[in-house]
Amino acid sequence: MSVESFDPDILGKLVHSAIREGASYAEARFHSLYGNRIGLMNGRVFTAGYEEQVGVAVRVIHGGGLGFASTDKLDQDSLYKAVSTALSNARISSSIQKHGIEMDESRLGSTRYSVYQKKPLESLSLTDKLAEVKERANAADLNMEGIQLKSFMLFYNELAERKIIVTSDGGYVEAEIPRAYVRHNLTASNGSENRNRYSVIAWTGGFEGLDEKNLTSSLEDDMRSLGIVLTKAKASPKGKMDVVLGPELAGIAVHESIGHPSEADRILGREAAQAGLSYWRDYKIGDRIGSNVATVIDDPTIPGAFGFYLYDDEAVPARPRYLLYKGLINEMLQNRETARLFGVKSNGAARARDFKSEPIVRMANTYFATGDYSFEELIEDVRQGIYIKKYMEWNIDDYRWGARYVGLEAYLVENGRLGDPVKDPVLEITSPSFYTSVDAAGRDLKLYPGFCGKGEPIQGVPVTMGGPHIRLREVIVK
């Protein structure tokens, strides 16, 4: 059966058949992802093509056990077989379960929505897109004095998502969310040292995003960063000092050290063997882990942001979540299973990457809330410190306690003024130390896209992370 002839009514029938077989909850999701992709090597198209994934996922609770089945075969027999497989799986789960799984009683959506596209992705041919991507990439002036570009790789990908979610307790959501992203890696050399800069621009919407995100200037800016590091940067100072972080680094920090730890399934241990646990297990709602300046929000409803959605994959309406509010732990990210265990309502954080994936607790667009400082005001009373504008290396332990961020483009700050560029400053810091050290946030806000990995099999879902410039007082730089 083709996608075009797929009858969404069957999803309701699948759900009913699971309930008839004794399931206490059932959900069926038709989920397709499709789009073009283009690869440029040193400005020339070296690969192009199309990707499409279409299928149905069925999830049931039976005897307190959770079962999931996924199939790309859309004929009736195969779909009903997926229901019986999901039921068998739930029975396997149930046989080794001490605590039964139940869903909370969240208000569910019965709705249909689609993201407006000024230039719909499907309205342009691959050939047209190829010409436009190439023109913008090759318009970038990547000549920098003192360095040589060794390799320039660029990939344009689309991820147009269509899904229909039906739950046995009345949820019905149809969504069309087109997304696209451009990744690039620049490698440059000063003759004795090579450096890379990898970055991504991405959006939710149509092809117009390519203009709005200004690919050409993004490439030029990254090449300029490499030029500064390779020709001018000196060794970074070490020791205790003030550090101003750009929105890119503020973004990865909130994603890793607030967003992930706030995931209720991680706190409960469901991802313990994969993405790990959370230091939030040792705290309770209302505990202070940061200064009054530190507010972190995760908001799926930001139009145009890469992690945008209005209803999650359990049909729960999305809303902004204030994870950290003025330094206090405020809210976890919840799906319907975890919400019931914590005695709250789901806040719409269940996401599945595709029809092969179960919905699990995920972030969407996570950012450090703005303050009221200009950039100049942030650095003007820094006597001795550094400003980290861009980074390359980062990681965090599986308890989300200790993180490491290594600056790429970074500068000295001396007596309130930006000084010379410095190389590879390392900020290796615990999560509470990070948030208690923040004493000021800028009024600018920028979101950076990425794919966040979690689950088994691992699911990479589109997200953004960002914030304003923020200032940390008296932290150790290595």
Partner 1 sequence: MTWSNLEYIADKLSSKLKEKVDEYLILVDESKKRMLKLANGEASVTQSWDNIEIGLYIARGNGKMLSIGLSTTSPEKAVGNIISLLDSMEPSPMYAPLPEASGEDYSLTDQAIIQYLEGTRELDLAGDLALSEIGNSAGMAEIRYSKIMLANSMGGFLRGEKTKFTGYIRVFKGDRSGQWSWTSPRYDGGKQAKLSIEKARDLAEECSRLPMGKIEPGEYRVLLSPMIAGNLVGELVRAANAGRIVYGMSFINPGMIGEKLFSSMLTIRDEPRNPELPGYTSFDDEGVSTKDKSVVEKGVLRTILHNSKTAKLMKTRTTGNAGIIMPRSFNLNVSPGDSPLSELLETLGNGLYLTNNWYTRYQNYSEGIFSTVSRDSVFLVKNGEFKACLNRVRVADKMINLFSNIEALGREVWPLEWWEIKPSAFIPHILVGKTGVSLPEI
Contact stretch for partner 1 (CB under 8 A) within 345-353, 372-380, 397-405, 413-421: 397-405
Residue 7 found at the interface with partner 1 (CB under 8 A): no
Sign of CA dihedral 355, 357, 359, 365: negative
| Beta strand pairing call for 384-388 and 239-245 | parallel
Give the per-residue contact string, 62-101, with partner 1 (x = CB under 8 A; - = no). ---xxxxxxxxxx---x--xx--xx--xx-xxxxxxxx--
Residue 433 found at the interface with partner 1 (CB under 8 A): yes
Smallest separation, CB 155 to partner 1 (Å): 10
Burial of 42 (C-beta count, 10 Å sphere; 0-12/13-18/19+): middle
Residue 478 found at the interface with partner 1 (CB under 8 A): yes
Contact between 422 and 414 under an 8 Å Cβ cutoff? The reply is no
> What's the token pair of residue 378?
């942030």
Residue 456 found at the interface with partner 1 (CB under 8 A): yes
Smallest separation, CB 394 to partner 1 (Å): 6
Residue 341 found at the interface with partner 1 (CB under 8 A): no
- Name which position in 404, 446, 460, 473 contacts partner 1 (CB under 8 A): 404
392 φ/ψ angles, rounded to the nearest 5 degrees:
-120, -65
Residue 301 found at the interface with partner 1 (CB under 8 A): no
CB closer to partner 1, 86 vs 318: 86
What is the rounded radius of gyration, in angstroms, for the C-alpha atoms of the chain?
Answer: 24
- Name which position in 3, 20, 135, 148 contacts partner 1 (CB under 8 A): 3
CB closer to partner 1, 425 vs 442: 425
Contact stretch for partner 1 (CB under 8 A) within 17-25, 208-216, 375-383, 428-436: 428-436
- Name which position in 7, 20, 22, 51 contacts partner 1 (CB under 8 A): 51
Which three-class secondary structure state does DSSP give residue 14? helix
Contact stretch for partner 1 (CB under 8 A) within 113-121, 242-250, 317-325, 400-408: 400-408
Which three-class secondary structure state does DSSP give residue 377? helix
- Name which position in 30, 401, 411, 448 contacts partner 1 (CB under 8 A): 401
> Can you tell me the distance from the alpha carbon of 354 to that of 363, in angstroms, rounded to the nearest whole number?
16
Contact between 220 and 142 under an 8 Å Cβ cutoff? The reply is yes
Smallest separation, CB 33 to partner 1 (Å): 9
List all residues 6 or more positions away from 229 whose beta carbon is below 8 Å from its beta carbon.
195, 408, 409, 421, 423
> Can you tell me the distance from the alpha carbon of 42 to that of 290, in angstroms, rounded to the nearest whole number?
45
Helix axes 126-139, 215-231, angle to 10 degrees: 40
Contact stretch for partner 1 (CB under 8 A) within 38-46, 169-177, 378-386, 459-467: 38-46
Strand-pair partners of 100: none
CB closer to partner 1, 330 vs 353: 353
Give the per-residue contact string, 261-290, with partner 1 (x = CB under 8 A; - = no). -------xxxxxxx-x--------------
CB closer to partner 1, 231 vs 430: 430
CB closer to partner 1, 330 vs 436: 436
CB closer to partner 1, 66 vs 382: 66
Smallest separation, CB 280 to partner 1 (Å): 15
List all residues 6 or more positions away from 290 whose beta carbon is below 8 Å from its beta carbon.
324, 327, 328, 432, 434, 435, 436, 438
Q: Which of residues 405-424 bind partner 1 (CB under 8 A)?
A: 406, 408, 424
Contact between 255 and 247 under an 8 Å Cβ cutoff? The reply is no
Match 């020791």 to its residue by tokens: 239
Smallest separation, CB 377 to partner 1 (Å): 27
> Can you tell me the distance from the alpha carbon of 446 to that of 368, in angstroms, rounded to the nearest whole number?
10
Q: Which of residues 186-245 bind partner 1 (CB under 8 A)?
A: 186-187, 189, 193-196, 198
Smallest separation, CB 453 to partner 1 (Å): 9
> Can you tell me the distance from the alpha carbon of 396 to that of 401, in angstroms, rounded to the nearest whole number?
7
CB closer to partner 1, 47 vs 110: 47
> Can you tell me the distance from the alpha carbon of 258 to that of 175, in angstroms, rounded to the nearest whole number?
28
Contact stretch for partner 1 (CB under 8 A) within 125-133, 214-222, 314-322, 410-418: 125-133
> Can you tell me the distance from the alpha carbon of 113 to that of 134, in angstroms, rounded to the nearest whole number?
32
Smallest separation, CB 132 to partner 1 (Å): 14
Smallest separation, CB 113 to partner 1 (Å): 25
> Can you tell me the distance from the alpha carbon of 364 to that of 255, in angstroms, rounded to the nearest whole number?
10
CB closer to partner 1, 287 vs 376: 287
Q: Which of residues 129-188 bind partner 1 (CB under 8 A)?
A: 130, 150-153, 185-187
Smallest separation, CB 231 to partner 1 (Å): 16
Q: State which amino acid sits at residue 49.
A: G
> Pick from 366, 347, 359: which is nearest to 299 by CA?
366
> What's the token pair of residue 277?
């646990």
Does residue 457 have a cis peptide bond before it, meaning omega lies within 30 degrees of 0?
A: yes
> What's the token pair of residue 159?
């991820």
